[in-house]
Amino acid sequence: MISLKDISKKFSTKQGTIVAVDNVNLTIKQGEIFGIIGYSGAGKSTLIRLLNGLEKPTSGQIVVNDKEITSITEDKLRQVRQKVSMIFQHFNLLWSRTVAENIAFPLEIAGVPKEQRATRVKELIELVGLEGRGDYYPSQLSGGQKQRVGIARALANRPEVLLCDEATSALDPETTDSILDLLISINERLGLTIVLITHEMQVIQKICNRVAVMENGQVVEEGDVLEVFQNPKQPITKRFVSQVSENAQAQQTIQNLRELYPNGKLIKLVFVGDQTEQPILSRLIKQFDLEVNIVQGNVSHTKSGAYGTLILQIDGDALAIDKAILFINEQKVHTEVINND
């Protein structure tokens, strides 16, 4: 569906050359929801603009729907863009137009007859859950409703790819969940490929099949969301995963326990899928003469299955602790000893 090969994008400034995207290789499958996560300045916004030809790469090749878009003519690029739509963080609606007129706008540009436009707009209003609001203006809508208009407008020309540029970061958590549920529904009902960029791991967790982590213009880690949650390799990925699996209170508790039990060990257990339902902790306490404190526990759900973390403080004989860790690993539960520094 989408292939990026050795893609780089450089910008020349008075201060010198900025490498926004640095030798990125990605393959995005048809019909999946693919997440690209990174902090500000990571290069993710530039990358998504490369996917619909709003930016041209300095080097490399981009293929979308079997069309190599890095060297085609402007006329052919416009045809490709009709099948690659985008929704934005701040909605980008036309404030002087009603909901229906905003949704109809790309159809007008494409020369679709008036009657066909009206039929399509009605379908889209129902699809995104805005029945009865076709005559409203954007100023009369909530943030979530505005984004629903943006989604409907992006779907007007029946695209095959939907690009989402921080589409929920301006919304409150409850509205974010409703928009993400809508995107999942659209993906399943229409078979639409969705590429979503964000700086929030909760968004990746809820909606994405696979994820690429960007830092300094590079993709530093990539994989199935559940696998990345289970075993993040790069420091930045671990930071993102901790947004979901840990909290500030747990971190303070960890620090306090390090001071109280300098000879004990803090162990992070990672459960995936059916492992989240196993009584690992009760077995551990029964089989080993150890003092076990639960620091923090959490179970999250991704599109690929459940993901759980449990942080334990274990105090006792060093050999017994090592045997306990070996026992946990034998249950196919990933363990990580949290450093005491």
Last residue of a domain, one of 233, 254, 282: 233
Residue 340 pLDDT greater than 60, yes or no: no
Q: Nearest-CA neighbor of 154 among 131, 201, 199, 120?
A: 120
41 shares a domain with 162: yes
Question: Do residues 182 and 322 share a domain?
Answer: no
Is residue 241 assigned to a domain? no
With bands split at pLDDT 50, 70 and 90, how would you rate the model's confidence at 341?
very low
Could you give the CA distance from residue 41 to residue 44 in angstroms, rounded to a whole number? 8
For tokens 């803090």, the residue is 266
Which CATH number covers residue 82?
A: 3.40.50.300
Kindly tell me if the per-residue pLDDT of 3 is higher than 60. yes
**Position with higher pLDDT, 248 vs 326:** 326
Tokens of 306: 């459940």
Is it the case that residue 127 has pLDDT exceeding 80? yes
Sheet-wide strand order for 265-272: 291-302, 305-315, 265-272, 334-338
Other Cβ atoms closer than 10 A to 214:
25
Residue 240 lies in a domain: no
* 61 burial type by CB count under 10 A (0-12 exposed, 13-18 middle, 19+ buried): middle
Same structural domain for residues 286 and 208?
Answer: no
Lowest mean pLDDT across 38-42, 86-90, 100-104, 219-223: 86-90
Name the band, by pLDDT with cuts 50, 70 and 90, for residue 111.
very high
Q: Count of H helices and E strands in the chain?
A: 12, 14
Separation between Cα atoms, residue 151 and residue 120, nearest integer Å: 14
Q: Please tell me whether residue 189 adopts helix, strand or coil conformation.
A: helix
Does one domain contain both 29 and 148? yes
Of the listed ranges 19-23, 189-193, 299-303, the one predicted with least confidence? 299-303
Q: Cα-flanking dihedrals φ and ψ of residue 165, to 5°? A: -100, 95
Neighbours of 341 (CB within 10 A): 4
Of the listed ranges 12-16, 133-137, 277-281, the one predicted with least confidence = 277-281
Instruction: Give the residue from 167, 184, 177 showing the smallest Cα distance to 36.
Output: 167
Query: Which CATH number do you get for residue 280?
Result: 3.30.70.260
Question: Which of 12-21, 238-247, 258-267 is least confident?
Answer: 258-267
Residues 250 and 229 in one domain: no
Contact 84, 51 (CB under 8 A): yes
Which token pair is 177?
């969940």
Q: Give the dihedral sign, CA 145/149/154/156.
A: positive
> Residue 52: inside a domain, yes or no?
yes
* pLDDT level of residue 134 (50, 70, 90 thresholds): very high
Contact call for residues 225 and 210 (beta carbons, < 8 A): yes
297-309 per-position pLDDT tens digit: 777 777 777 777 8
- In angstroms, the CA 142 to CA 285 distance is 51
Lowest mean pLDDT among 42-46, 122-126, 130-134, 324-328: 324-328
Q: By mean pLDDT, which of 67-71, 86-90, 95-99, 268-272 is the weakest?
A: 268-272
Rounded Cα gap, residues 237 and 41, in angstroms: 16
Domain final residue pick, 207, 233, 259: 233
More confident residue, 92 or 259: 92
In a domain, 190, yes or no: yes
For residues 41 and 20, give the distance between their C-alpha atoms in angstroms, rounded to a whole number: 8
Asked whether 185 and 128 are in contact (CB, 8 A), the reply is no
User: pLDDT tens digits for 35-80?
Assistant: 999 999 999 999 999 998 889 999 999 998 888 888 888 888 888 8
Q: Let me know whether 148 and 27 are in one domain.
A: yes
pLDDT at 130: 95
Q: Which two tokens stand for residue 202?
A: 């909760």
Q: Quick one: which of 194, 211, 189, 193 has its CA closest to 202?
A: 211
Q: Domain containing 20: what range?
A: 2-233
Choose from 64-73, 203-212, 254-263, 311-320 the range with maximum mean pLDDT: 203-212
**Is residue 271, in this structure, part of any structural domain at all?**
yes
Is 116 in the same domain as 177? Answer: yes
Same domain (yes/no): 128, 55: yes
Lookup: tokens for 90: 């701040």
Q: Is 239 within the bounds of a domain?
A: no
Is residue 54 included in any domain, yes or no? yes
Instruction: Indicate if the pLDDT at residue 116 is higher than 90.
Output: yes
Is the pLDDT confidence value at 185 over 50? yes
User: Within this chain, do residues 63 and 40 fall inside the same structural domain, yes or no?
Assistant: yes
Tell me how far CA of residue 14 lies from CA of 10, 21, 90, in angstroms.
Answer: 13, 19, 29
pLDDT in tens, 193-252: 999 999 999 899 899 999 999 999 999 999 999 888 888 899 999 889 877 766 555 566
Task: Indicate if 151 and 289 belong to the same structural domain.
Answer: no
| Residue 303, in any domain of the structure | yes
What total of structural domains would you count in the chain? 2
- Taking the C-alpha atoms of residue 57 and residue 55, their distance in angstroms, rounded to an integer, is 6
Asked if residue 224 and residue 259 are part of one domain, the reply reads: no
d(C-alpha 17, C-alpha 28), whole Å: 29
Give yes or no for a contact between 228 and 237, defined as CB atoms under 8 angstroms apart.
Answer: yes
User: Distance (Å, rounded) from C-alpha 160 to C-alpha 110?
Assistant: 16
Residue 91 shares a structural domain with residue 63: yes
